[in-house]
Amino acid sequence: MHSAIAKVHVDTWRTTYSSIIPDEYLANLSYEKRESRWGQMLSTATQNQHFIYVAENATGQIIAFANGGPERTSDPIYKGELYAIYIQADYQRQGLGRRLTQLVVERLSEIGLHSMLVWVLADNPACRFYEALGGQKV
């Protein structure tokens, strides 16, 4: 599973951030490094109250994921955080993002975290997605 999540992560960075982040940086992203990082994060997820949801296509291939947990910077207002949400380009605009975000919100609520933030690059086109879900810039 780590490798499938890493592939979605790297591939979506390359498509989403192509006009925001330098091409050299995106070209140097590594599936292997992301896979290792995801392995580390998932191995400690339970003790840190972190969690991840994945979406699969009809053939069982992971095509999207969202992960969340407690807010990581000790923000005085927002107690939960959507750490990441990535959907392969061919599967965007089909409701997966909304559903994954809903699952993260529900899980945060289950662990007693009733507010949430997500860190987003200012030029990220996904800002419109978050605003459509009721998100506000802070």
The per-residue DSSP string of 67-112 comes to EEEE-SS--SS--EEEEEEEE-GGGTTSSHHHHHHHHHHHHHHHTT
End-to-end CA distance of the chain: 34
Confirm whether 11 is domain-assigned: yes
78 neighbors 71 (Cβ within 8 angstroms): yes
CATH of the domain at 111: 3.40.630.30
Tell me which residue range forms the domain holding 128: 2-132
Confirm whether 61 is domain-assigned: yes
Q: Is the dihedral of CA 93, 98, 103, 108 positive or negative?
A: positive
pLDDT at 82: 96
Confirm whether 107 is domain-assigned: yes
Confirm whether 137 is domain-assigned: no
Bridge-based pairing state of the strands 62-70 and 80-87:
antiparallel
- Number of structural domains the chain divides into: 1
pLDDT at 66: 96
- pLDDT (tens, 9 = 90+) of the chain, 138 residues, equals 778 998 989 888 898 888 888 989 989 988 999 888 888 877 776 777 899 999 999 999 999 999 999 999 999 999 999 999 999 999 999 999 999 999 999 999 999 999 999 998 888 888 888 999 988 888
Confirm whether 102 is domain-assigned: yes
Confirm whether 138 is domain-assigned: no
pLDDT in tens, 76-86: 999 999 999 99
